[in-house]
A and B are shown apart, each in its own frame.
Chain A
């Protein structure tokens, strides 16, 4: 299944609407997309995983990159994760660094 990531900025919040399988290749592409995005004035990023069917460890790494590197100590929320996607995220323990909102 193909992946699609759409970034929209509203005030200080950047929303990343992801859909499809967020696997290693998709993560690599999307990270590039995110790094090229103008994040000036952004202090929060929300990853909407409502339509994501799979997430690889590389995908989880993107959340961490957003948290650690895009802007230091940016608020990162992951919302809409469910089923296998949620269980993978929870298993990794990434929720220790970012907010995973069920």
Chain B
């Protein structure tokens, strides 16, 4: 058995950790995939709607390049509310989605014509979404051009915008005709410096701004109101007419003159609505600080409106779609998330079920088999082949049940054997009892004779080492004996049987008690390996004369009632029988008078403790005998037996008990 290699055990703890890990990893990957799928759904929806919007804007503006600005001046925008709704308020979710794709919180300028500003300046938890349709084109062309020229990489548009310095650009006026531009490219950390002639700048770049849609009149005035540059187009003749070619605003159209008066010297940017010769138009003005000039741009109002209406249509259309898409996307996402979680839950339940089955099912099987085995059916086994604690439990349980089966078999065998022994003992006890005289029966036989005899015998176990016997060895002489074999139980009983058989023989053949015991001793001491011995007191009473021969071989002293008082009489001391042969035994003769009683007993009624620490010795026995007067032997024996047994305070007597009493003299 010891050579069998035990399979390596995979602990339940490890299994548990593996299962939990599988569940956690599964849950993680499912969540992750759910996240990515969700992300993709949202992204697709956003990019679809955002791109669509941007494309529409591009279609309208005819430009594809997008410029980005960090800051914008929004002050202008409010004044255009009469032209177009310049802001829309939408819920967070819509704008967030939009923001993700078109980068909220900054200005997107679709080249020259449209600035789109997204801010996160929250008003009642909403994002404000601005369109600045005017752009720098309308009133900042010169500066924008300047920016474009030098700052295209930075995508800065207008020098008028606050934070211009933040974008890394600084201007420095050198004189009335020249300026120095210090350009700092933050990303590249390069400083560029260039001196630009004002007139060269206009001549070189102004034409690029002559877009069809916004062609208007362009003028530059110095701070004194003197016209230093002008550009007119034929399409704007009605405006041109309003402006008489004068070198000073003083000489111009009254309305225009009036407007110019407010503009020149204001050192600010802005626009005004006026009518020039009955035609509504805007005057956009821009103060270019570095050269201390004012750029004036005049555009017909209908032209602007026409553009804005188109933009507005497109924007509104976009947001309608955006709302619609967003709702659809939201539903799809909700369905997806719920489905993903249900699948996740089902997978977790499945894994948990597998694990619990793996753990619980074998335990249930073990319990069932235990119940079957508990009913005594040991042939059942737990058939679980696993390399973990449960497998080990099953194996050990099988071994245990086999062991229990063996033990029960062994126990039953022992029980049967014990029952057999008990049965044998009962038979042995009967056989032994047959050796002993029946006191009541014999009494009748002797009833007519000149003596009375009675005995009591009780083995401590089934069989006894004590013995009692009495019989006539001739017409007159009665032989009686009380003895005890060392030890108890069967060994003592076997020895006792031998003793009592030999005694019968020797009593009939020998003349005296000493001779009987001598012969008995010689017979018993041959090959007595166990050193078992017997003690005995035997007597031969001549029932006619009252002469009694007594021999005591290591036995308890007999008590005599010779003159109404019980006494121990002096007898020769002889050793027990069975140890050494050829030992001389001595006896003594007495003559009994009528009513004299001789009381023989075994050590079962003396030398025991009672009432905790008192010893019931032979003197105590003598006292007990002396409190009884004139009793017949039967009463005497029964009384003493009862008294002694009651003193022992036990359900079982601790030693074999033998009592024999003989009363001499004719009965009344």
Q: Which residues of A line the B interface, CB within 8 A?
A: 24, 54, 56-58, 60-61, 64-65, 68-69, 83-84, 87-88, 90-97
Q: Determine whether the beta carbon of A91 is less than 8 Å from that of B555.
A: yes
Q: A64-B533, A92-B535 are in contact. Are A58 and B486 (CB under 8 A)?
A: yes
Q: Determine whether the beta carbon of A97 is less than 8 Å from that of B486.
A: no
Candidates B486, B488, B583; contact of A60 at CB < 8 Å: B486
CB distance from A69 to the nearest CB of B (A): 6
Q: Determine whether the beta carbon of A96 is less than 8 Å from that of B583.
A: yes
Query: Which residues of chain A are within 8 angstroms of B573 by Cβ–Cβ distance?
Result: 90, 93
Q: A69-B529, A92-B554 are in contact. Are A57 and B484 (CB under 8 A)?
A: yes
Q: Determine whether the beta carbon of B580 is less than 8 Å from that of A97.
A: yes
Q: Determine whether the beta carbon of B607 is less than 8 Å from that of A84.
A: yes
Candidates B486, B529, B554, B609; contact of A91 at CB < 8 Å: B554
Q: Determine whether the beta carbon of A96 is less than 8 Å from that of B575.
A: yes
Q: Determine whether the beta carbon of B557 is less than 8 Å from that of A91.
A: yes
Candidates B487, B555, B579, B609; contact of A97 at CB < 8 Å: B579
Q: Determine whether the beta carbon of A24 is less than 8 Å from that of B607.
A: no
Interface residues of B, count at CB 8 A: 30
- Which B73-111 residues have a C-beta within 8 angstroms of A? none
Query: Which residues of chain B are within 8 angstroms of A84 by Cβ–Cβ distance?
Result: 607, 615, 617
Query: Which residues of chain A are within 8 angstroms of B655 by Cβ–Cβ distance?
Result: 56
B142 within 8 A of A: no
CB distance from B48 to the nearest CB of A (A): 100
Q: Determine whether the beta carbon of A24 is less than 8 Å from that of B554.
A: no
A-B contact pairs, 11 of them (CB 8 A): A57-B485, A57-B535, A58-B486, A64-B533, A83-B615, A84-B617, A90-B573, A93-B554, A93-B576, A96-B583, A97-B575
B498 within 8 A of A: no
Q: Determine whether the beta carbon of B555 is less than 8 Å from that of A69.
A: no
Chain B: which residue is nearest A60 at the CB level?
Answer: B486
CB distance from B493 to the nearest CB of A (A): 14
Q: Determine whether the beta carbon of B531 is less than 8 Å from that of A24.
A: no
Q: Determine whether the beta carbon of A64 is less than 8 Å from that of B579.
A: yes
Q: Determine whether the beta carbon of A24 is less than 8 Å from that of B557.
A: no
Chain B: which residue is nearest A62 at the CB level?
Answer: B531
B542 within 8 A of A: no
CB distance from A102 to the nearest CB of B (A): 15
Candidates A24, A88, A92; contact of B575 at CB < 8 Å: A92
CB distance from A61 to the nearest CB of B (A): 5
Query: Which residues of chain A are within 8 angstroms of B530 by Cβ–Cβ distance?
Result: 65
B553 within 8 A of A: yes
B532 within 8 A of A: yes
Q: Determine the distance from Cα of A11 to Cα of B583 in the docked complex, in whole angstroms.
A: 33
Q: Determine whether the beta carbon of B576 is less than 8 Å from that of A92.
A: yes
CB distance from A35 to the nearest CB of B (A): 12
Q: Determine the distance from Cα of A53 to Cα of B615 in the docked complex, in whole angstroms.
A: 10
Query: Which residues of chain A are within 8 angstroms of B486 by Cβ–Cβ distance?
Result: 56-58, 60-61
